[in-house]
Structure 1
Amino acid sequence: MRTTSSGSDRPPVAAAWTAQADVAVAAWRPPAGTGTEVSFGEGHVRLTDGDALWVVTDGAVDMFVMEVAEGGPWHYVSRFTPGAVIAAPPSGPAGVPVLRAVLGSRVLRVDAADVAGLLRADVGSGDTGESSGRLAALARGIDAGLDGLLGFVAEKSACGEQVLLTAGSRGELAEGEPGRSAEGLVWVEVLAGRLRVGTPDSGEWLSRGDMFVVTESSTVHGGPSASFTTCSTGDLLADGRLWERLAEVNERLLRMADRVIAAEGERAESRIRAVREMEDTLTDKADRVLQAVLQPAEHVSRSGPVHSEDATEAACRIVADELGIPVLPARGSAAGGKMGPIEAIAVRSRFRIRAVDLDVRWWRTNIGPFVGRRCDSGKPVAFVWRRGRYVAWDPVTGERSPVRDRTAAEFDDTGVLFYPPLPERPVGTGRLILFGLKGSGRDIRNLIAFTLVAVAVSTTVPISTGLILGTLVPYAETNLIVQVSALTLVAALASAVFAVLENLALLRVGGRFEANLQAAVWDRLLRLPAPFFRRYSTGELASAALGVKNIRTVLTNVSYVVLYSSVVAVVNFAVMFWFSVPLALLTGLYVLVGVVFFVVLGARQMKWQTQSLDLEHKLANRVYQRLRGLPKLRVAGAENRAFAAWANEFAQQKELQKRIGRYQNAAATFNAVYPLICVLLTFAVISGPARGTLSMTRFLSFNAALGIVLAAVIQVTNSLSSAFAVIPMFKRMKPLLAELPEASEAHTVPGELTGEIEVNRVTFRYDENSPPVLDNVSLSMRPGEFVAVVGPSGCGKSTLLRLLLGFEHPTSGNVLYDGQDLATLDSTAVRRQCGVVLQQTKPFAGTVFQAITGTLNYSHDDAWAAAELAGIAADIRAMPMGMHTLVSDSGTFSGGQRQRLAIAHALIRRPRILFFDEATSALDNETQRIVTESTQRLNATRVVIAHRLSTVLDADKVVVLAEGRVAECGPPSELLRDSTSLFHQLVRRQMHESEGAMA
C-alpha cells in the first residue's frame, strides 16, 4: 500500500524555479572572475577536493573511477557535456573519480562556499525572476553531474509496475516495492523504516533522515514500514541543505561504485572460469570421440555421469544427439516471458518442441526420443528407443534402464518432443529427401533386405512353372508335381510374409518422413524474413508447405513399387539370359522401347502438370482471399464479378486436367497392349528364326520370366510417371527452401535489453530504383522514454517501425539496441523482449485467456493483471464465461475490445520496449488514459506511431517525419509553442477537422 501527497509549503525561490522548469534554461556558468580553469596536464585530473565543484563549460569530459592500487584499471562512468556541475566526492577505499579531457574540453573549478555565497546574494537581491533562472540552471547542472555517477551504480529500472515519484510529495513503499522518478532527478528522504538503493550486490540501506537520488532509469526499493518525502535539487538549493546532502550522497555513490567494480571483477573471473570449463568439456568430448574410433569396445562417451551441465540441459542434449540437433545453453539468452527451461533451450538452439500426453503402455510405441520427468522428484529423464521399447536415461548418473510395466508408473505421463530444423542454408531436393529420411536407416535397411529375400523367393515361380509343365507333366511325375507345387506354394507364402514386413517398414519410413519434413518446412517458413512474404501470396505459401504430405504419399508408393519391381525385373532378366541370350537381348529391346515411350510421355505430361499445379495454387489463393473479403464483396455488390473470375480460372484448370487425362489414357492403353505385342513378337521369333533352340521346359520358364519382367517394367514406368507430379511440387517449395532464415548462428543473442534504441543515419528504399522512403533519419530513445512518431500519411512512420523491429534492413545506416547493431543480432530474440501492437493486429483465436497469454506459461493471475493494464478487465468480468470466452472472427468482440486484447498480450510479459502502431485508435478517452498510465508505470521504452495527436501530448519526445526525413524533434510542449512548427500545424488541422465533424 502506498500514499502520496503533494507539498505546497515550498520556498518562494523554489516555487519560482518550479514555475520556470518547463522553460528552456541556459547552461549554468560561474560569474566572471569566479573559479579557475582546470589544467589537464596529463590528460586527466583527479577529483580529490570535497569542497569544490567542477563545471563543464565547453566540449566534454569523461569520468572514470580509477582503482587506487598501483596500475589499477580505469572504469568508465559517464560523459559530461557543457552545463554539467560535478561535485567531488571523497575518495573511496578502492577508487577515486577521474576526469579525462575530450577534444575541446574546458572545465572550471569553483569552491562550493563561493557558489553558496552567490546564491544567498541572489536571494537577497529581490530579483526573483533572474535569480530563479540561475538557480534552475545550477540545479540542472548538478542533476546532470549526479545522474552520470548514479547511472554507474544504481539498479536499473526493471520492467513491471512501479511507483512514480515526483518532487514535493510524501509516500510509502511496501517491502520490495520499486519506485522511480516520474521525470528528472528526484531526492528521496527517509521519514520512517528503511529503503534500499542500488543493486542487491552493491546497494545500501537508507535509514531515517538519510537521503538519496533517483531518476527515470534507476529505482529505490521499499523496506519494512518505509515512508519518505521527496524534493528537487532546486528545493535543496533554496533552503540551503544541498551542500551537506550532496557530500553525503556522493560519498555513498563512491562506496557503491567500489562494490560495483568488485562485483564486476568477480563476474569477469566467473566468465573466465566458465570459458575454461567449456574448453575442458570440449577437450574431454574430443577425447571420447577419438577413443570411440580407436577403441570401440571401450566407448562410453555418453554413459558416464554428467557433472558440468544442468540436468535438464543434459537430458535435452541426449535427446538432441539422437536427432542430430546441436544444443546451445540457454543461460544468458534472455528469452523473455515465462519460459520453461526446455523451451528456453529450444529457443536458444533454434528448434521446435511440443508437449505430448503419453498414452497407456506408451513405452511400447515409438514416437521418437523425448524428455520426461520422474513423478516423485520431478527430475528430468531422457527417453530413447532401443530394441522395441523405451529406455530411461538419467542425465545425472548416466544410468540407463528399460521402461517396463512395473517401472512405467515412476514417470510422469507427459513429455516433450523435439523437432529438428532444416539446415540454415539453401536446401535442395536431394538434401530435403535425405533430411526427411533421417532416423529411418534401420527401416530402410530392413526394407531392402526384405525386398531382396522376397524377390529371391519369387524366382522359383518361372523355374517351377517350366519344370512342372515342361518335364513333370509330360512324364506324369505325380509325386514330384505335388512336391514342386507345395514348394512353390511355400515360396509364395514366404513372399507374402516378406511383403507384409516390407509394407510395415515402408509405413514407418513414410510416417517419419512426413513428420520430420512437414514440421521442418513449417519451421523454416516461420523463420523466413518479412520481405520474403511480400513476394508470395498466402495461398501459394500454404500450398507449398502442405505439399509435403502429397510428396510423401507419392514417393512412398513410388519408392516401394520401383524398388521391388526393379529388383524383380533385374533378377528375372538375369534368369532369362540363362535360358536364351538372344531372346534375353530381344527382351532388353522391349524394355528400352517401353522406357523411352514413358519418358517422352511423362515429360509432356509434366509440362501440363506444372501449369495445372500453378493454376491450382493461384485458384486456392483467390478463393482464400475472396472468402476473407466476402463482406466487402457484398457491400460493393461484386459477388457476380468475383464468381465470374473464379469460374474462368476454374475452367482453365479443368482444361489442363483434361489434357493430363489424355496422356494418362494413352499410358493405360499402352500398358494394356504393349505386353501382348511383346509376347506375340517373341512367339514369332521362337517359331521362326529361333525354332528348335529351346526345349519345352526352358521355353515355358522363359515365357514366365518374360511376363514377370514386362509387368515389372510397366509398374516401374507407371510409378515414375506418377512421380513426375512431384517435380512441380518441389519447384513450388524451392523458393521457401532457398531463402535463408532471418536469424542464424552468425547472429548474436542480444542478452537482456535495457530499452536504449538509436537510429543512426538510416536510409531505406523498398526497391533499388525507387526513391528513398526514409532519408538519413537519426534519432535516439533512452530507457523508459516515451517517444511519439507523427507526420502526414506516407511520410515513413510505419516503415520506421518495421526497421526498428527488424522486418526490413536499412539501405544504409544502422539501428542500434543498447549500442548493438540490429543487423548483427538475432532479431527474433530482440522482438521476443518487445511488446508490439500493429495497426491490423488481431488477437489469437481461442479463449480470452489464450489470446492474452499466447503460448507461454502464464497463470490466470498474470492474465488478469495484463487485462487490468489494458483496461479490458471489466469487460471480461462482464462476460458469462470470463477468461474462457471464445475469441473468433465473428462480431462477439468490438474493435476496441480486440485492440485491448492485443495490448494485454503485448503487456503480459512486462517488456522493456513497447511498439504501438496506432494501437489505441479504437479506444475512448478513458480507456486511452488507463492504457497510457499503465504503460508509464511499466517503465518501458515506448515508441508510439499515432495519427490521433491528442494521444501523444504526454510524450517525452515527439519525432515529426515529413517526406522521409526528421522535420522536427523535441518535447511536445516546445513544439506546440512554435506556431510555425509542422507539429503545431498538424495539431491545429486535426482540431479543426474534429470541430467540423462535431458541427
Structure 2
Amino acid sequence: MNSFHIPNSTFLIKIAAGERIRLEDGERLALIESGKVEVYAVTRAEGSFRQQFLVALESGGAAFPSLDQFEQTETLLYAAEDTQIKILTFDEVSPEELKILMRHWFAELIKLPWLRLMADKGDDTLIPWLDGTVLAGAENLKEAFRENEEIFSMLLGVRFQAEDKSFSNRVEVRARNQQRILDNSISNLLGEETTNYSETTERAVRLEEASFIVRRAAIALNMPTDNIKLDAELVRRLDQIRLIRRLIQKGNMQMRLIELVEDWHKNDSGVIIGYYGEAKILSVFVPTAPGKYKLINKDKPEGFPITDDVAAQIDKSAFECYGGFPARELKIFDLIKFIFKQCWFADYRTVILISLVAGIIPLAMPIVTETIFADIIPILDRQGLATVTQVIMVTSFTTASLGIVRTIAVMRITTRMNMATEAALWARLLTLPTKFFRRFTSGELASRMGGISVIKSLVSAEFIGGLFGFVFSFWSIFLMCYYSLKLTAAAVAVWFVYAIITAFIYRRVINFQRNLINAGNKEAGIVQQIFKGLAKFREHGAENQAFWLWSGVFGETWKWNLKLRWQSNYNMIIGSVQPFILTMCLYYIAVYGMNEVGPNGQTIQGITYAQFIAFQGAFSSFNATLNGIIPLVGQYFAIQPHIENLRPILKEVPESVGEKADAGILSGAIELSNVTFGYTEGRDVLHDVSFKISAGENVAIVGRSGCGKSTLVRLLLGFETPRKGSIYFDGQDLADLNLPSVRTQMGIVLQNGQLMQGDIFTNIIGTNALTQEDAWQAAEAAGIAMDIAMMPMGMQTVISEGSTNISGGQRQRILIARALVTKPTILIFDEATSALDNRTQAIVTNSLDKLNATRIIVAHRLSTIRNCDRILVMDAGRIVESGGFDELVARGGIFANLVKRQTA
C-alpha cells in the first residue's frame, strides 16, 4: 500500500484505491472532490500498526487534521476507491462553508460508539456534537474548532494508551501460556514420571500459595475459611486468576478487577489481592486501621506496612474482595450482624465515648445559668460573669469539635457498610435458584433490592448522633429532678401523652408505608414490562393501552403516598405544638402550684427564680433532644415495611449451600435416571426420563414444541430440581455437587440468549483471563470472525443495549463464540443455530465436530443434526425414540414424521 505526505501548499491530489495520505499540517484540511475515503487516527510513527477508524467520507466531505497537543496522533486518509482530494488552508474556505464542514466532521465523529456513549451519559462537550449546535455563536471559528478537536484528540490518546496496556497484558499472558506449553513439551520428552512429579509439585505450590492468600483475605473480611480448599488435580486446568476466583467462590466471597490509583493505600479501599515487586509475588493488601494497609504474602506471612515506596512496587491491576452473606436462610439479625462486622471497632468506640461526653457537657449550662442569676447578677460581679462566659465558650467549642469527630467516624462506618452490604446482597441475589426469579418481575426485584438503601440510612450521622444524644441526655432528667420533682413529673406526663399520640400516628404510617411499597413494586414491574415491549405497543398503535396499564398502578402508589404525607403533616403539627403546651404547663405550675403556706401564714416559694431558669435550661435541652429523636423513631418504623419487602431475598437459600462437593474435572459423561419434573404440583412436564451420554458423544434432542426439551436442558444446568430421579455427571449426583463447579466446565447457548452492553471482545471472553487470540479462535469456530473483522473497530466494536446494532444471526454466533472460548468439556446448544444460514451453519457444525467435548444439541431444524452420534426423540415429556438419523427415518415413527414435514 502506497503512502505519501502532503506538501505545505494548496494542492489537488489524486490517489488510487488502496493508497493513503497523512494530514500533518494542523492548519490544513482535506476536501473530498470525488471518490470515497476512510479516515483513521494513527500514531505518528511511520508504519504504525495502531490505528482507530473515525469516519467514512464521500464527495463534498472534509477531513481535518489531528490537533493533538502531545503530538502523538495524526489523521490518515485511506482511499476506498480512486479519489481526488483538494488540500486547503482554513482561510481559503469561506466561514459559512467552513462551519458546515466542521459541523459535519463532528457529527460523523459522534457516531463512534465510545464517543456516543459518553454523549448519552451527559458529557457537556459532546452533547453539542450530537444535537448539531457545536460552534454555534463562536466569534473565532478556528479557535472554537481547535478547542473541540483538542478534546477529541485527548480522548483518542487516552483510548490508544488503554489499548497499549491491554495489548501488553495480552502479550504477557500469551507468553506465559507459550512458556507453559514449552515446559509441558519438554516434560513429555523427558518421560511420564518426571512430568507427573514436576506437575504435581507445581500444582501443590500454586494451590498452597493461592489458598493462603484467599484465607488471609477472608480473615480480613470476617469470613469463615473452612471451605477455602480445592482438589490439587483441578489446578492443572486453572490459571492463577481462575484458581483464585474458584477459591474466592468457595469462601463465599466475590472479587472484581480494579485499577489502583495514587495514594490508594492512604484511603479505605477494602481488601485487595494483587502482585508485588518485579517477581509479581501474589499478595493480599489488608487494611489495619483507617488509612493504613499491610502487605501479606506467603514469604511474609506476618506482613509489613505499605508505604509510598512499597505501593510504587505494587502492580496497578488488582482484585478487590467482598464478603458474602452466609449461604442459608437469613434473618434480619443476620443482616444487621453482617453489617456491623464490616466496620472498625475503633469507630464504634469513638462514637460511643463522644456521645457520652456530649451528653454530659450540656449539664453545665443549667448550673452556669443558676450561678449567673443567683450569685453573679444580684451583686453585679463583672469578673465572675466574664469567667462564666469563658466557660460557656469553651463548652460550646468542645461540643462542636466532638460533633465533628463523631461525624467523621460515622461517615467511615457508613462508607464501609455501604460497600460491603451492597456487594453481598447483589451477590446473594445472583446465586439464588432460578425458580426464585419466576415469582417476581425484574422491576419488582429492583424495587425490593432498593430497600437495602433505606435500611442503611439508619446508619447515618443524624440517626446515630440523635440516638446516642437521646440515650445520654437522660442526665438532664436527673438534673431536672434535682431542681424540682413536681415540675419534672409534669414534664414527664406531657411527654408520655405526646409519645402515645406519636406512636398511634406511626402505627398508621407503617401500614401506609407497607401498602405504598407493595404498590411501588407493582408499578416498577409494570414500567419494566412496558419499556421492554415498547416497540410492540408502537407497532400496534397501543400507546394508550400502555398508559392505561401504568396509570392504574401509579394511581394506587400515589394514593398511599398522599396518605403517608398527611400522617407526616399531622406529626409535624403535633411536634410544633408540644413545646408550647409543655412550657405553658411548667410556667403555670411554677407560679401557682409550687408555693406553700408557712406556719405563720406567710407564702413560701417552692422554687427560686434562678432555680426555675436552671430547670428550664435542663428541660429545654432534653425536650430538644426528644423532638429530634421523634422523626428518627419514625424513620425506624418506616423501615419495617422495607425489611419485609427484602425478606423474600433473605429467606431464599442460594444454590451453593452447605458443604457440597466440588465436581472436579469432568470427562463429559452424563446420565439421567428416572427423572420426573413439573413446574407445578400435580402437573409433570417430564415423565420417568432415563438415558446415558458417553464422554465426547454428540447427542441431539428433538421433538415437537412443548414436549419438554428446554425443560430437560434446565434440569441439566441445575436451574430446576427433579421431583423424582437423579442426574449424574461422571457418576456424581448433581444434587450433591457445587453447581458453579459444574457450570464452569460447560459452554451454553440458550433460547433467546442476550449479549451484554459492551464490546465484542468482552462479550466473548466474559470474566475469563483470556487473550484476544483466544477470542478470535472462538469467533472463527462460530463463523463470526469475518463479520467482526469487517467492522470498523473489530473486536472493540461496541454492542448496544438489546443488540440493536447487529443482526440476529450475528448475535447468535457471538453467543456461540462465548460458549466455545473456554474450550468446555460439555456443550449445550438450545436452538443455538436457528438464525444461521446454511453456510454459517456448516461452519459451526464443522467446528463442533472437531471438539473433544460432549455435545447436547436441541434443535427444530433437523438438517443440523444429521451427523449426530445419537438422536433422542421426545414426545409429551418422555423419550420415545433413540438412534441415528437414518435409523430413525427408516423406522417411520415420530422422528420420520418430523423429517417429512420439514422436507415436504
2:704 aligned with 1:792: yes
- 1:436 partnered with 2:339: yes
CA positional deviation for 1:392: 2.4
Q: Is residue 445 from structure 1 mapped to residue 349 from structure 2 by the alignment?
A: yes
Which stretches in structure 1 are left out of the alignment for 5+ residues?
1-175, 178-193, 204-258, 275-306, 993-999
Equivalent residue in structure 2 for 1:651, among 534, 555, 560: 555
Q: 1:317 to 1:945 in 2, by over 3 A?
A: same
Equivalent position of 2:314 in the other structure: 411
CA distance in 2, matches of 1:742, 1:806: 9
Task: Report which of the two structures shows the higher radius of gyration computed on alpha carbons.
Answer: 1
Tell me the equivalent position of 1:534. 438
Q: Which letter does structure 1 place at the counterpart of 2:484?
A: S
Q: Could you list the per-position Cα deviations for residues 469-497 of structure 1 after superposition, in whole angstroms to 9, with x for gaps in the alignment?
A: 34322221111111111101110110000
User: Could you tell me how far 1:410 is from its partner in structure 2?
Assistant: 2.6
Partner residue, 2:304 = 401
Residue identity opposite 1:423 in structure 2 = P
Matches within 5 A, 1:614-629: 614-629=518-533
Residue in structure 1 matching 2:663, options 747, 750, 754 = 750
- Structure 1 residue 320: deviation in Å? 1.7
Paired position in structure 1 for 2:214: 316
Aligned: 1:375 with 2:277: yes
Confirm or deny that 1:892 pairs with 2:805: yes
Q: Whole-Å Cα distance in 2 between the matches of residues 822 and 317 of structure 1?
A: 27
Distance 1:197 1:365 in 2: 49
**Structure 2 unpaired stretches of 5+:** 1-180, 596-604
CA distance in 1, matches of 2:245, 2:384: 70
**CA deviations over 1:26-70 (Å, ceiling 9, x no partner):** xxxxxxxxxxxxxxxxxxxxxxxxxxxxxxxxxxxxxxxxxxxxx
- Note if 1:850 corresponds to 2:762: yes
1:649 deviates by 1.9
Distance in 1, matches of 2:399 and 2:653, equals 47
Structure 2 counterpart of 1:487, from 391, 411, 431: 391
Shift of 1:919: 0.3
- Helix, strand or coil: the match of 2:473? helix
Q: Does 1:348 align with 2:250?
A: yes
Q: TM-score, normalised by structure 1?
A: 0.68
| Residue 405 (structure 2) aligned to one of 473, 496, 501 | 501
1:580 and 2:492 matched: no
Residue identity matched to 2:701: V
Deviation, 1:785, is 0.8
- Structure 1 counterpart of 2:744, which letter? R
Task: Give the distance between the partners of 1:324 and 1:332, measured in 2 at CA.
Answer: 26
1:631-660 Cα shifts (integer Å, max 9, x gaps) = 111112211011022122212212211111
In the other structure, the counterpart of 2:873 is 960
Structure 2 residue 892 is the aligned partner of structure 1 residue 988: no
For 1:829, give the aligned amino acid. S
Aligned partner of 1:681 among 585, 589, 594: 585
Aligned pair partner of 2:715 in 800, 803, 817: 803
Q: Give TM-score, length-normalised by structure 2.
A: 0.75
SS of the aligned residue for 2:414 comes to helix
Partner letter of residue 712 of structure 2?
L
Distance in 2 separating the partners of 1:787 and 1:610: 52
Q: Deviations over 1:58-117 (max 9, x none)?
A: xxxxxxxxxxxxxxxxxxxxxxxxxxxxxxxxxxxxxxxxxxxxxxxxxxxxxxxxxxxx
Whole-Å separation in 2 of the counterparts to 1:616 and 1:802: 32
Q: Would you say the 8 A contact 2:207–2:232 is kept in 1?
A: no
SS of residue in 1 equivalent to 2:500: helix
Q: Per-residue deviation at 1:425? A: 1.5
- The CA deviation string for residues 357-416 of structure 1, in whole angstroms up to 9 with x for no partner, is 222222221222322322311112332233542222343233533222344323223332
Aligned twin of 1:595:
499
Structure 1 counterpart of 2:627, from 691, 705, 714: 714
Q: How many residues align?
A: 706
- Give the letter aligned to residue 314 of structure 1: F
Q: Deviations over 1:934-978 (max 9, x none)?
A: 111112111111111111111111111111111101111111112
Distance 1:977 1:197, change over 3 A: farther
Structure 2 distance, partners of 1:688, 1:886, is 82
For 2:514, what is the secondary structure of its paired residue? helix
Corresponding residue of 1:158: none
Task: Give the residue type in structure 2 aligned to 1:365.
Answer: N
Select 1:878's aligned residue among 778, 782, 790: 790
CA distance in 1, matches of 2:803, 2:288: 50
Residue 549 in structure 1 maps to residue 462 in structure 2: no
Which stretches of structure 1, 4 residues or more, deviate above 6 A after TM superposition? 196-200
Determine whether 1:329 maps to 2:229. Answer: yes
Please report how far the alpha carbon of residue 551 of structure 1 lies from its aligned counterpart in structure 2 after TM superposition: 2.1
1:831 maps to 2:750: no
Aligned equivalent of 1:633, options 531, 534, 537: 537
Instruction: Say whether 1:201 aligns with 2:192.
Output: yes
| Equivalent residue letter for 2:615 | F
Query: What amino acid sits opposite 1:565 in the alignment?
Result: G
- Quote how far apart the aligned CAs of 1:332 are: 4.0
Q: Residues 401-460 of structure 1: CA distance to partner in whole angstroms, max 9, x if unpaired?
A: 322234432322333221111011111112211211213222111111111112222221
Determine if contact 1:844/1:854 at 8 Å carries over to the other structure.
Answer: no
The 5 A counterparts of 1:114-133 are none
Q: Indicate conservation of the 8 Å contact 1:332/1:751, yes or no.
A: no
- The DSSP-based 3-state class of the residue aligned with 1:385 is strand
Letter in 2 for 1:866: A
Q: Distance in 1 between matches of 2:458 and 2:554?
A: 25
**SS of alignment partner, residue 294 of structure 2:** strand
Q: Which position in structure 1 is the counterpart of 2:166? A: none
Instruction: Read off the aligned partner of 2:515 and give its amino acid letter.
Output: Q
Task: Answer yes or no: is the 8 Å Cα contact 2:411–2:461 preserved in 1.
Answer: no
- Which deviates the most, 329-338 or 824-833? 329-338
The answer on whether the counterparts of 2:698 and 2:856 sit within 8 Å (CA) in structure 1 is yes
Counterpart Cα distance in 2 of 1:344 and 1:906: 19
Native 8 Å contact 2:359 2:473 kept in 1: no
Q: Report the residue type matching 1:472 in the other structure.
A: I
The alpha-carbon deviation at position 714 of structure 1 amounts to 1.4
Cα distance, 1:340 vs. partner? 3.8
Please show how residues 511-530 of structure 1 align to structure 2 within 5 Å: 511-530=415-434
SS in 1 for 2:593: coil
Matches within 5 A, 1:61-76: none
One-letter code aligned to 1:751: G
2-side partners of 1:883 and 1:700: how far apart? 79
1:700-738 deviations in Å (ceiling 9; x for gaps): 111111111111111111111122221111111100011
Q: Give the letter aligned to residue 229 of structure 2.
A: P
2:883 to 937, 953, 970: 970
More helix by share: 2
What SS class does the counterpart of residue 308 from structure 2 fall into?
A: coil
> Given the alignment, which residue of 693, 714, 733 partners 2:646?
733
CA distance in 2, matches of 1:400, 1:520: 27
Which residue in 1 is equivalent to 2:265? 363
Q: Once the two structures are aligned, what percentage of the paired residues are identical?
A: 33
1:945 alignment partner, one of 839, 844, 858:
858
Q: Distance in 2 between matches of 1:200 and 1:914?
A: 33
Query: Counterparts of 1:767 and 1:574 in 2: how far apart (Å)?
Result: 64
Aligned partner of 2:845: which letter? T
- What SS does the aligned partner of 1:955 have? coil
Residues in 2 aligned to 1:561 and 1:595: alpha-carbon distance in whole angstroms: 20
Query: 1:325 deviation in Å?
Result: 2.0
SS in structure 1 of the partner of residue 450 of structure 2? helix
- Tell me, yes or no, if the aligned pair for 2:342 and 2:417 is still in contact at 8 Å: no
Cα deviation for residue 308 of structure 1 reads 11
Cα distance change of structure 1 residues 476 and 749 upon mapping to structure 2, 3 Å threshold: same
Q: Partner of 1:924 in structure 2?
A: 837
Moved more, 652-661 or 548-557: 548-557
CA contact (8 A) 2:339 2:421 kept: yes
